[in-house]
Chain A
Amino acid sequence: MSNQTKAGPISFLTELPANIWHSIFRNPLPDSDLGRSATSFTNFFLHIQPVKVHRHSLKLTYTWGLGLISLFLFLILSVTGVLLMFYYVPSTTQAYDRMLDLRGTVAFGIFLRNMHRWAAHGMVAVVFLHMCRVFLTGAYKRPREFNWIIGVGLFLLTMFSSFTGYLLPWDQLAFWAITVGTSIASYAPFVGNDVKFLLLGDTSVGQEALLRFYVLHVAVLPILVTLLIAVHFWRVRKDGGLSRPPEEDEVFPAATPEPVAMAPAAASAVVAVPAPAVKLGEKAQLEKKLYGIQGIVRGPFTKIGNVPDRSVFSWPNLVSLELLVFLITVAGVLIVSLYFNAPLEQPVNIMHPPNPAKAPWYFLGLQEMVSYSAFWGGVGIPTFEVLLLLLVPFLDRKPGGVGKWFARERLLANSLFMTFVILNIVLMIIGIFFRGPNWEFVSPW
C-alpha cells in the first residue's frame, strides 16, 4: 500500500516512455531460454516462426536463403509498387508520359522504378533458383508434396505478375511483347481465342488491355501471391520445418558428438539444453513416450520422446540470419538500381513493330520455341512442363536422398530435371544473343 502513495501524475509522466514500450513489447530482451521462447511466442511478427528451429534449417549452404530472398523481393516490389501507383495512370495517352515524369520530375521516381524493375527480374530468377534447390535436395517428397504444388503455383503467378507489369509503361517493347504474348495464348485449344479476348477486353491490344493488365498487376495477382505465400509458409511448419536428411532425426546417432557442448549458463552461446540421451531399450522407449500438444501435429518429422534435441531457439539464431538475408537482398537491389536504369523504349507505335520484337529475357526461351511452332512452343510444351512439375512429387515416391544436395540416390531424377533446366537456359541464351532482325540467326560477335 505504501507504493500507491507514490503513484501520482509526476510518476505517471516519468514512467510514460517505459510504460508505452512495455505495453507494446511484453518481453524484455531475453537472457534466458524461457525468455527466448516467449519472445518468439508473444510477438505477432515473430510467431510466424517456430519457437525452436532445427540446426539443419539454418545452414545457408543448404537453402542459400532463396525462399527468403523471394519473399523479401516480393515485399520490396509491394512497397515500391504502391509508391509508383501514386503517379501512374493506366491510360494509353498518359502512361508513357508518366514514365517520363518519373524520370524527370518525381523525386526518386526513376530510382523507385529501377528498384521495382530489377526486383521483379530478381524475383523471377530467385523463385526459379528456389525451385531448383527444392528439387535437387528432394524436398518435395512426402509429406511436402502439396507445398511443392503451392510453390509451382507461386512460380507461375510470379511469371504472370511480371508479364502483366511489362505492359504498363506502354512503350514499344511493352506493346509488342503483349501482342505476341496474348497471341500465344490464343493458340490454346478450344479456349484460346476466348482467353485472348478476356485478357485484352477487345480484339486488339489497346486501352482495355492496359486497364485489365493494370488491375491484374496491382490487385488480383498480388492478393493471390500473398495468399499462396501464407499457405506456403504455414505448410512449411506443419510439414515439420525445412526438409533435412533423416539421419538428423535419428534417436541415437552413431558417434555423433553433441552439436555444441553444454554451455554454462553464463556463456553467451544460445543453445537449447539437449535432452539427456539416456540409452533405453526399444520397448522401454515406447513406454516412456510422452505425448504433448505436438502429438497431434501430423507428419513423420515431429518426433516425440527421446529425440536428441538438435534445435536452437529462433530468437536470435533464425531471426538474425533472416535479418542478414534481408539486408543483403535490399543492398543488392539498391546497388543495382543505383547503377542501372530500367529500360524505356520509344512510345507505342502500332504501325511499326521493333525488329526483332523481343520479350523479356525469361520469356525468350518461350519465344525461341514459338518461332518454330506457335502451338507447340507456346502452349503444348509449356503445358507439358507445368503438368510434369505439378506431378513430380507423385511420380517420384522413393524416400531416399532427401535433404542433401546431389544425393546419389537421386541421380536419375536430378539429371532429368537438370536436362530440362539446361535446355531452357540454352533456348533463352539463343533468344537473347543469337537472334537478330526477322528472328534470323546472328552471331553476337
Chain B
Amino acid sequence: MAKEPRTPEEPESGEAITRRKLLGWLTGMGVFGSVLVTAFSNFIFIKPRATYGQPNRFSIGKPEDYPSGSRMTLDTRRICVVRDGDRMAAISTTCTHLGCIVATSETGFACPCHGSHYDQDGNVTGGPAPKHLAWYQVSLAPNGEIEVDKDVEITPGTYFSV
C-alpha cells in the first residue's frame, strides 16, 4: 500500500521554509497585527482630544482687584493669587501628594487629606507631599486683565510684574 504523501515533503534541513510554513506565518502575523492595530485604535478612541471641563487658561480680572500684600484663594480655579507690591503670582492649591485642595493656614498651606504642610511660597514643610505646590504662568492680556495658564508651570519664586 504505497501511498503518495499528502503533504509536501519536509525539507531536509529544518531551517528552509516551505510555502505552507511561510503562508501560515504571514497569516499569523496578519491576524496578530490586526489585533494590535484594533487595540491601539481603541486606546486612541478613549483618550479624549478635547475635554469638557474648565479651561486651563483663564482670566482672573484686573490687577487692581488684588491689593498689595493680599493672598486670595480662588476655590473654583484651584489657585491662590499672591500680590506683593507690583509683583503677582498664581500658586496651585492642589496638593501635590494626592490632589486634595489645600487650605490656607497661618504658615502657608495645609492639606486636610494626608497632613502635608507648605510654607507661603508652596515649599513642603511637612507631611507626605513629594514636591512644592505648582506656580503657574501669569500674564497680562491685551484687555488689561490678568491671565493664568495652568498648562505652564514656572519656577517657584518667579513673579510677574504688573
- Set of chain B residues within 8 Å of A370, measured between Cβ atoms: 98, 114, 128
Q: How far is the CA of A198 from the CA of B110 in the complex (A)?
A: 29
Please give me the residue from chain B that is nearest to A204 by CB atom: B53
Is A184 part of the contact surface with B, judged by Cβ < 8 Å? yes
Q: How far is the CA of A100 from the CA of B99 in the complex (A)?
A: 28
Q: How far is the CA of A440 from the CA of B112 in the complex (A)?
A: 10
- Set of chain A residues within 8 Å of B48, measured between Cβ atoms: 201-202, 208
- Set of chain A residues within 8 Å of B52, measured between Cβ atoms: 202, 206-208
Q: How far is the CA of A375 from the CA of B129 in the complex (A)?
A: 11
Is B76 part of the contact surface with A, judged by Cβ < 8 Å? yes
Pick from A204, A206, A207, A372: contact of B128, CB under 8 Å:
A372
Q: How far is the CB of A30 from chain B (nearest CB, A)?
A: 47
Given A371-B128, A437-B112, A438-B115, A183:B99 Cβ within 8 A: yes
Interface centre among A182, A203, A353, A437 (most CB of B within 10 A): A353
Q: How far is the CA of A373 from the CA of B98 in the complex (A)?
A: 11
- Set of chain A residues within 8 Å of B111, measured between Cβ atoms: 438
Q: Is the CB of B99 within 8 A of A180?
A: yes
Q: How far is the CB of A390 from chain B (nearest CB, A)?
A: 22
Given A179-B99, A201-B48, A374:B130 Cβ within 8 A: yes
Is B56 part of the contact surface with A, judged by Cβ < 8 Å? yes
Q: How far is the CA of A404 from the CA of B76 in the complex (A)?
A: 59
- Set of chain B residues within 8 Å of A182, measured between Cβ atoms: 99
Given A371-B128, A372-B128, A373-B128, A353:B51 Cβ within 8 A: no
Q: How far is the CB of A148 from chain B (nearest CB, A)?
A: 26
Q: Is the CB of B51 within 8 A of A203?
A: yes
Is B113 part of the contact surface with A, judged by Cβ < 8 Å? yes
Is B1 part of the contact surface with A, judged by Cβ < 8 Å? no
Q: Mark A370-384, 1 if CB is under 8 A from B, else 0.
A: 111111000000000
Q: Is the CB of B114 within 8 A of A371?
A: yes
Please give me the residue from chain B that is nearest to A351 by CB atom: B75
Q: How far is the CB of B126 from chain A (nearest CB, A)?
A: 10
Q: Is the CB of B114 within 8 A of A353?
A: no
Q: How far is the CB of A172 from chain B (nearest CB, A)?
A: 12
Q: How far is the CA of A204 from the CA of B101 in the complex (A)?
A: 12
Is A417 part of the contact surface with B, judged by Cβ < 8 Å? no
Q: Mark A418-445, 1 if CB is under 8 A from B, else 0.
A: 0000000000000000000111100000
Q: Is the CB of A201 within 8 A of B99?
A: no
Is A352 part of the contact surface with B, judged by Cβ < 8 Å? yes
Residues 114-128 (chain B) with a chain A CB within 8 angstroms: 114-115, 128
Q: How far is the CA of A357 from the CA of B54 in the complex (A)?
A: 24
Q: Mark B106-150, 1 if CB is under 8 A from A, else 0.
A: 000011111100000000000010100000000000000000000
Is B21 part of the contact surface with A, judged by Cβ < 8 Å? no
How many residue pairs bridge A and B at CB < 8 Å?
Answer: 80
- Set of chain B residues within 8 Å of A399, measured between Cβ atoms: none
Q: Mark A174-212, 1 if CB is under 8 A from B, else 0.
A: 001001101110000000001001100111101110000
Q: Is the CB of B51 within 8 A of A180?
A: no
Interface centre among A180, A182, A198 (most CB of B within 10 A): A180
Given A371-B114, A439-B114, A353:B128 Cβ within 8 A: no
Q: How far is the CA of A197 from the CA of B46 in the complex (A)?
A: 10
Q: Is the CB of A440 within 8 A of B53?
A: no
Q: Is the CB of B51 within 8 A of A374?
A: no
Q: How far is the CA of A439 from the CA of B115 in the complex (A)?
A: 6
Given A201-B48, A371-B115, A438-B112, A351:B76 Cβ within 8 A: yes
Is A316 part of the contact surface with B, judged by Cβ < 8 Å? no
Q: How far is the CA of A56 from the CA of B97 in the complex (A)?
A: 51
Q: How far is the CA of A374 from the CA of B114 in the complex (A)?
A: 10
Q: How far is the CA of A356 from the CA of B81 in the complex (A)?
A: 26
Is B100 part of the contact surface with A, judged by Cβ < 8 Å? yes
Is A355 part of the contact surface with B, judged by Cβ < 8 Å? yes
Q: How far is the CB of A361 from chain B (nearest CB, A)?
A: 17
Q: How far is the CB of A421 from chain B (nearest CB, A)?
A: 25
Q: How far is the CB of A180 from chain B (nearest CB, A)?
A: 5
Q: Is the CB of A353 within 8 A of B53?
A: no
Q: Is the CB of B113 within 8 A of A353?
A: yes
Please give me the residue from chain A that is nearest to B111 by CB atom: A438
- Set of chain A residues within 8 Å of B97, measured between Cβ atoms: 183, 374
Q: Is the CB of A356 within 8 A of B112?
A: yes
Pick from B47, B51, B101, B128: contact of A351, CB under 8 Å:
B101
Q: How far is the CB of B136 from chain A (nearest CB, A)?
A: 13
- Set of chain A residues within 8 Å of B98, measured between Cβ atoms: 179-180, 183-184, 370, 374
Residues 104-151 (chain A) with a chain B CB within 8 angstroms: none
User: Can you list 20 pairs linking A and B with CB atoms under 8 Å apart?
Assistant: A176-B100, A179-B98, A182-B99, A184-B98, A194-B47, A198-B47, A202-B51, A202-B53, A203-B51, A204-B54, A206-B53, A351-B101, A356-B112, A356-B113, A372-B128, A437-B112, A438-B110, A439-B113, A439-B114, A439-B115
9 smallest CB-CB distances across A and B, nearest first, come from A355-B112, A183-B99, A183-B98, A351-B75, A438-B115, A439-B115, A202-B51, A202-B53, A371-B114
B residues sitting closer than 8 Å to A (CB atoms) are: 46-48, 51-54, 56, 75-76, 97-101, 110-115, 128, 130
